[in-house]
């Protein structure tokens, strides 16, 4: 991407596309792009090449593995994958014509910050999660040494000049390990925010006099994620015991119709993956959104989006992390509390306001660091 004096390009590494109506990761990347552009820059994403010569990748990866050991990557990348990344990181850094500033969203490995430093870049880390807690190994094996991965991740993030976390708890945890991150919570980008406002208006038109919408409960998530599927299974089991409201419940998301078939019962619809229009209809008509996460990173993108759309949220403590105390977020700690909330009509929450102070801090940091790293001509 070309860089100009009026709109310099900032190099970014993220494995997500900017999709305001996509997954949580895609929505976070879309938010970051919108903030960067509003600050007067353009985003130049790094794009991995289709292939790298195998021998070159393997030898490069072996050198990094010997140098960094287990700290090389949280996803356990072998020498081939590690070397493939190293080759395209090095080439993307060398080609970038703009300020020597890297926006580092996908913080899986230590290779990129090492190479960026060597190439004269300063680094702003924007981890979507603390990856040690959401790695495939952590979900697959309860005996996996998550704290060992976390120590490596702290070391990895410490190589950045500035860190912005998506949740307060992550900021607190990194501070306890000697880092000084800032907080940049998720808030829908302008495209998604406009869509949420339209959903809110439709919900208001359907609401009773007390502000409640008389629709089904909505469980929304991807059942191919074991932690998400387990949370849905628990909620359905509790609803079976505690009784469904008259409108029942609808379960939506990829593979839900297959993975949850054994725990469904009369009054529960398993809809599977839906088109955007069908999903929008449910968002406009549901009475509340149910979220239960087991381990992992909570629901730091889904909850702000639901609140902006006027949808009450019923969530366990884990899912509601970083969102406790927000009007419209109803938190439970046990099945009895969950059933009480699920049976209770909940009014439309007030619309949350953008985190203006945090956004301005991020943008002022961009401007100051980009100005100090602009190549001299």
Q: In CATH, what number is assigned to the domain containing residue 366?
A: 3.40.50.2000
Average pLDDT, the chain: 91
CA distance 110 to 124: 14
- Given a cut of 70, whether residue 154 has pLDDT beyond it is yes
- Given a cut of 70, whether residue 64 has pLDDT beyond it is yes
Number of domains in the chain: 2
Q: Does residue 110 sit in the same domain as residue 219?
A: no
Domain ranges, residue 81: 9-187+356-373
For residue 313, the model assigns a pLDDT of 97
Q: Does residue 223 sit in the same domain as residue 369?
A: no
For residue 219, the model assigns a pLDDT of 95
For residue 377, the model assigns a pLDDT of 45
Burial (CB count within 10 angstroms: exposed 0-12, middle 13-18, buried 19+), residue 325: exposed
The pLDDT of 164-191, averaged and rounded, is 95
Confidence band, pLDDT 50/70/90 cuts, at residue 3:
very low
CA distance 168 to 149: 20
Q: Does residue 271 sit in the same domain as residue 127?
A: no
Q: Does residue 106 sit in the same domain as residue 252?
A: no
For residue 139, the model assigns a pLDDT of 59
The pLDDT of 314-329, averaged and rounded, is 92
pLDDT tens, position by position, 119-130: 999 999 999 988
- Given a cut of 90, whether residue 222 has pLDDT beyond it is no
Select the more confidently predicted residue: 58 or 298. Answer: 58
330 located within any domain: yes
Q: Phi, psi at residue 76, to the nearest 5°?
A: 65, 30
3 located within any domain: no
């Amino acid at each position: 991407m070309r860089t100009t004096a009026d709109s310099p390009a900032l190099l970014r590494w993220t494995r997500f596309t900017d999709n305001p109506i996509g997954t949580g990761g895609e929505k976070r990347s879309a938010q970051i792009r919108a903030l960067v552009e509003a600050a007067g820059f353009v985003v130049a994403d790094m794009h991995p090449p289709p292939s790298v010569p195998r021998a070159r990748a393997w030898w490069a990866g072996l050198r990094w593995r010997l140098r960094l050991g287990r700290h090389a990557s949280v996803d356990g990348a072998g020498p081939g994958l590690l070397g493939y990344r190293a080759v395209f990181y090095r080439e993307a850094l060398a080609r970038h014509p703009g300020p020597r500033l890297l926006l580092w969203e996908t913080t899986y490995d230590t290779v990129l910050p090492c190479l960026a430093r060597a190439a004269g870049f300063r680094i702003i880390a924007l981890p979507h999660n603390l990856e040690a807690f959401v790695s495939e190994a952590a979900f697959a094996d309860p005996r996996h040494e998550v704290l060992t991965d976390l120590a490596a991740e702290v070391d990895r993030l410490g190589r950045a000049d500035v860190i912005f976390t998506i949740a307060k708890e992550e900021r607190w945890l990194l501070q306890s390990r000697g880092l000084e991150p800032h907080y940049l919570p998720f808030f829908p980008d302008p495209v998604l925010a406009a869509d949420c406002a339209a959903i809110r208006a439709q919900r208001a038109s359907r609401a009773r006099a007390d502000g409640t919408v008389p629709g089904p409960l909505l469980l929304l998530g991807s059942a191919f994620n074991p932690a998400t599927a387990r949370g849905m299974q628990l909620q359905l089991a509790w609803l079976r015991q505690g009784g469904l409201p008259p409108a029942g419940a609808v379960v939506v998301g990829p593979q839900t119709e297959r993975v949850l078939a054994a725990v469904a019962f009369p009054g529960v619809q398993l809809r599977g993956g839906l088109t955007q229009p069908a999903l929008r209809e449910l968002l406009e008509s549901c009475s509340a959104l149910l979220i239960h996460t087991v381990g992992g990173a909570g629901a730091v993108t889904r909850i702000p989006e639901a609140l902006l759309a006027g949808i009450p949220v019923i969530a366990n403590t884990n899912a509601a992390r970083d969102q406790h105390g927000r009007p419209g977020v109803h938190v439970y700690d046990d099945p009895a509390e969950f059933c009480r909330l699920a049976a209770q009509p909940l009014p439309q929450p007030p619309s949350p306001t953008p985190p203006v102070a945090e956004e301005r801090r991020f943008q002022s940091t961009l401007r100051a660091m980009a100005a100090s790293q602009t190549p001299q001509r």
